[in-house]
Amino acid sequence: MARRVGGHSAMFQEDGQVRVIEGVRKDGDDQVLDGEFHDVSPDVIVAKFKKFIREFAYTEDGTGKQKQTMKYREQFELNCRSGFYKLVVDIGDLSSHEDGEVLAHKLNTAPTEFVPLCEKALQDLYLELVERQPADGELPHRAPGIQLQFTCDADLEGNFGTMKTQKIRDMNSDEVEKLVVLQGIVVRVKKGRHKARRVVLRCSACENMKTIDVKAGFCAGHIPSSCDGNNALAGQLERCPPNPFVIVADQCEYVDEQVLGLQELPEHVPVGDMPRSLDVYVAQYLVDDCTPGSRLTVVGISVATEFEAGGGMTGSRNRGTNTVKYSYIQALGVKVAQGISYGIDISPEDEEKFSNLAKDPDIREKIVKSIAPSICESSKDVIGNVKRGVACMLFGGARKRLPDGTRMRGDSNILLLGDPGTAKSQFLKFAEKVAPVAVYTSGKGSSAAGLTASIVSSPGGGFSLEGGAMVLADGGIVCIDEFDKMDEKDRVAIHEAMEQQTISIAKAGITTMLNTQCSVLAAANPRFGTYDDLQSTADQMDFETTILSRFDMIFLVRDVRDPDRDFELARHMTSLHMGEVQEEREGPLSVPELRKYLSFCRGRCNPRLGPDSAEMLKNFYIDTRARMRSDLSGKSPIPITVRQLEAIIRMSEAFAKMEMRDDVSEAHVKEALELFTMSTLDSANKDRGAGSEQISPEERDELQKAEEQIRKLVPRGGRKSKSQLESLLVSAGGVDERTARRAINMMLLSGDLKERANSTLQRER
């Protein structure tokens, strides 16, 4: 064992030999902080690792009887007999073993040398433990190539065993040829390739055979330019000609390899900076283990090589050496994160606290008040309902998989449609901050490929798949601001992603499907910039009904001109700028607490409808469809279909999830129906001219003059295009555009004008 000798050195005794370890020990800890283990030969490393695999055991105490289990020996034998030639070793177990100090230190400081030695030790163990010994006269067996993988689990502080996770932007030259632990999100997956790890050569002159082992990563094999054998086949001793070797392809050994593009997590990117990325090299059993959008914890080696991935040997004749290296990560282990709880560490104390918090009868109101508390709400606007809707979207419903394999989404989508300056973007910013996984984007700055996925050409040839915003936000939410500014073809591209929660790609010979299990929170302005109470909602929504039906909740956020509301809003804003409403701004639950509670509920609760709540939902849907069928006053901008029934079910499940309830009660359904009525159904049933403001005498005179102009321009029984009539009123009649639209709508309401097909107006006879 190692023991402390002085402040700067220690003695290490192994097999009767004393070796010096340069370094400093910390408070009696056996970990070497600085220095290297000198004179530790490769044979010693192999012997110690074989001993670790044979002897490492842990005690099972679950059944009342203690049982010693040889953890890695049994796992190794089972994998090999099942045809999986690999072994996964926990770095923490390696450090805790009696001989693991040398192994752990070598792994951290010289992993490129350490890993091949350990894989050679696994091949020896394969011949000892798995493969039978050859009988007399039989050729000795040859062990297959066995992959050694490493993993490590994070503690509550985010440290991985004895190592700390690093950000991609913090990687520097000090980490080259060291073991690192990185977290990131996969944005690009290249097509898998086959690499020869053992190359067999044959001399074309003397039939001399030669074998070359190729290192892992972007390393090439060097073919000798001369043969060391003699040309005995020609009957005379002659030297072989230059470059005589040819590759015997059928005797070479190949492994699969793949290159991933790992980008730093969105929450790690400073505002205004470009996200940074690294290439990750994976091989053998790590290939095809993840897709774009997967969040990974990678244990690997930071490598700086001479040539870029896929690059050739061109330019090697140039004088000097290329000192600028191509850096990448050679993965030794990959762990794919699952669910929305990624990156959220919940301690046992937090679990107990949240379990008690869920029993609070006012927990739903506390959550709603904690949603964007700095945004003022009053009884005369819709802001309070928007907060309830955002809370439902964050908690989400229950995802379901039917017996036939069909999946039903549990994520809710919300559209905020309204006037400028009504805090729509603030809701998006708050949702991005509180959700464990979130991506914020703007409609005009986003394309169809940027939101979904794209096929990009690789520098070395071929194509690779690169995920967009909705793929990167898998398991979270996507906030799309200025949704109305998007091109129509770009909006159509997210139809499948919003309902089926998948993205189908069939381009450049790549046919695949990506998961986009995320919620969409979008903000948009009406077609004419501001909401006009005298026009129908359908005329002001610049969206197709196909995408409107995919939103669970649609809120009309209007800038209502009311003296009491204006005074309350002005007082709240001035208090915010003066710093006088600190408690109200924080809310009952702070953002970190709400974020943890949100992750806690989503990971541990999956509520379902009961018979009574299902009957209440069925009756509401039938009555609503009957009212829509009998309403012949005009077309509804939002069709009420089965999608809206599923939306109410998801909202009911979200309210139940806030209380950590496994069953959806009638109270949850009632609150969901109330919220749906005040949002989507209210938007669909908005009558022409409903909620019109008080018209001043001056505005009334302007409207009367505009109506007289309309009667002159459109004779009785005559027809004229609506847009053409508005243009004539503005240009020839001297009427402003808003008054012209109001006058046309007033005459439509009174029946003087009738709207025909293709937006044509006809005056009654």
Strand-pairing partners, residue 462, are none
> Per-residue pLDDT averaged across 573-583, rounded?
65
Question: Please, what is the Cα angle at 274 between 154 and 462, to 5 degrees?
Answer: 90
CA dist 8 to 11, 21, 34, 103, 659, Å?
11, 9, 9, 21, 57
pLDDT at 282: 92
Does residue 613 register a pLDDT over 80?
A: yes
Strand-pairing partners, residue 761, are 720, 755
Residue 541: pLDDT band with limits 50, 70, 90: confident
Residue of 99, 92, 13 whose CA lies nearest to 54 = 99
pLDDT single digits (tens) 510-520? 777 888 888 89
Dist. CA 584–CA 578, nearest whole Å: 13
Per-residue DSSP letters for 498-543?
HHT-EEEEEETTEEEEEE---EEEEEE--TTSS--TTS-HHHH--S
pLDDT at 4: 35
Residue 140's φ and ψ, nearest 5 degrees, are: -65, 145
> Per-residue pLDDT averaged across 488-495, rounded?
81
pLDDT at 696: 63
Q: Which residues contact 183 (CB under 8 A, 6 or more apart)?
A: 165, 167, 265, 295, 296, 297, 298, 343
Does residue 417 register a pLDDT over 70?
A: yes
Long-range contacts of 627-636 (CB under 8 A, 24+ apart): 628/684, 631/685, 633/687, 633/688, 634/536, 634/538, 634/688, 635/538, 636/538, 636/684, 636/685
> Per-residue pLDDT averaged across 537-548, rounded?
74
pLDDT single digits (tens) 360-396? 888 888 898 888 887 777 655 678 888 999 999 999 8
State the residue for tokens 């809206």: 644
Higher-scoring residue by pLDDT: 311, 219: 219
Strand-pairing partners, residue 282, are 258
Dist. CA 159–CA 579, nearest whole Å: 37
Contact 471, 503 (CB under 8 A): yes
Exposure class string for 604-621: b at 16+ Cβ within 10 A, else e: ebebebeeebeebbeebb
pLDDT at 20: 38
Per-residue DSSP letters for 561-620?
--HHHHHHHHHHHHHHHHT--HHHHH-SS-HHHHHHHHHHHHHH---EE-HHHHHHHHHH
Contact 289, 334 (CB under 8 A): yes
pLDDT single digits (tens) 427-470? 888 888 888 888 888 877 777 778 887 777 766 666 777 778 88
Dist. CA 378–CA 381, nearest whole Å: 6
Average pLDDT over the chain, rounded to an integer:
76
pLDDT at 758: 73
Comparing 137-151, 365-379, 613-627, the range with the smallest average pLDDT is 137-151
Does residue 341 register a pLDDT over 60?
A: no
Residue of 472, 480, 532, 415 whose CA lies nearest to 294 = 472
> Per-residue pLDDT averaged across 330-359, rounded?
78
DSSP letter (8 states) at residue 250: G
Residue 157: pLDDT band with limits 50, 70, 90: very low
Strand-pairing partners, residue 58, are 69
The one-letter amino acid code at 752 reads D
pLDDT at 469: 82
Comparing 189-193, 425-429, 594-598, the range with the smallest average pLDDT is 189-193
Higher-scoring residue by pLDDT: 39, 422: 422
Centre a 10 Å sphere on the Cβ of residue 110 and count the other Cβ atoms it contains: 18
Q: Which residues contact 694 (CB under 8 A, 6 or more apart)?
A: none
Residue 339: pLDDT band with limits 50, 70, 90: low
| Sign of the CA dihedral with 744 first, then 746, 752, and 757 last | positive
State the residue for tokens 């394969």: 126
pLDDT single digits (tens) 404-416? 878 888 888 999 8
Whole-structure pTM value: 0.70
Residue 499's φ and ψ, nearest 5 degrees, are: -100, -55
- Measured distance between the N- and C-terminal CA atoms of the chain, rounded to whole angstroms: 107
The three-state DSSP-derived secondary structure of 97-154 is CCCHHHHHHHHHHCHHHHHHHHHHHHHHHHHHHHCCCCCCCCCCCCCCCCEEEEECCE
Residue of 354, 386, 415, 438 whose CA lies nearest to 658 = 354
Residue 280: pLDDT band with limits 50, 70, 90: very high
Does residue 738 register a pLDDT over 70?
A: yes
Question: Please, what is the Cα angle at 372 between 592 and 643, to 5 degrees?
Answer: 100
Long-range contacts of 318-326 (CB under 8 A, 24+ apart): 326/218
Q: Which residues contact 587 (CB under 8 A, 6 or more apart)?
A: 369, 370, 371, 373, 594
Residue 546: pLDDT band with limits 50, 70, 90: confident
DSSP letter (8 states) at residue 85: -
Residue 538: pLDDT band with limits 50, 70, 90: low
> Per-residue pLDDT averaged across 55-80, rounded?
70
Contact 647, 676 (CB under 8 A): yes
Does residue 317 register a pLDDT over 50?
A: no
Dist. CA 523–CA 413, nearest whole Å: 11
111 φ/ψ sector (left φ>0, alpha ψ -120 to 50, else beta): alpha
Contact 761, 721 (CB under 8 A): yes
pLDDT single digits (tens) 203-262? 887 788 888 888 888 888 888 888 876 555 544 456 778 888 888 888 888 889 988 989
Please give the helix or strand (H or E) that residue 96 lies within, else none. Answer: helix 91-96
Does residue 14 register a pLDDT over 50?
A: no
Residue of 501, 414, 458, 472 whose CA lies nearest to 190 = 458
pLDDT at 583: 46
User: Would you state the structure tokens that stand for residue 16, as one six-digit string?
Assistant: 């009767």
pLDDT at 472: 80
Residue 158: pLDDT band with limits 50, 70, 90: very low
Contact 147, 289 (CB under 8 A): no
Contact 600, 351 (CB under 8 A): yes
User: Would you state the structure tokens that stand for residue 605, as one six-digit string?
Assistant: 């609760």
pLDDT at 13: 39
Dist. CA 378–CA 362, nearest whole Å: 20
Burial of residue 11, with CB atoms counted within 10 A of its CB: 0-12 exposed, 13-18 middle, 19 or more buried: middle
Dist. CA 239–CA 112, nearest whole Å: 37
Exposure class string for 399-423: b at 16+ Cβ within 10 A, else e: eeeeeeeeeebbbbbbbbbbbeebb
Contact 201, 245 (CB under 8 A): yes
Comparing 305-309, 450-454, 696-700, the range with the smallest average pLDDT is 305-309
Dist. CA 765–CA 755, nearest whole Å: 14
pLDDT at 31: 39
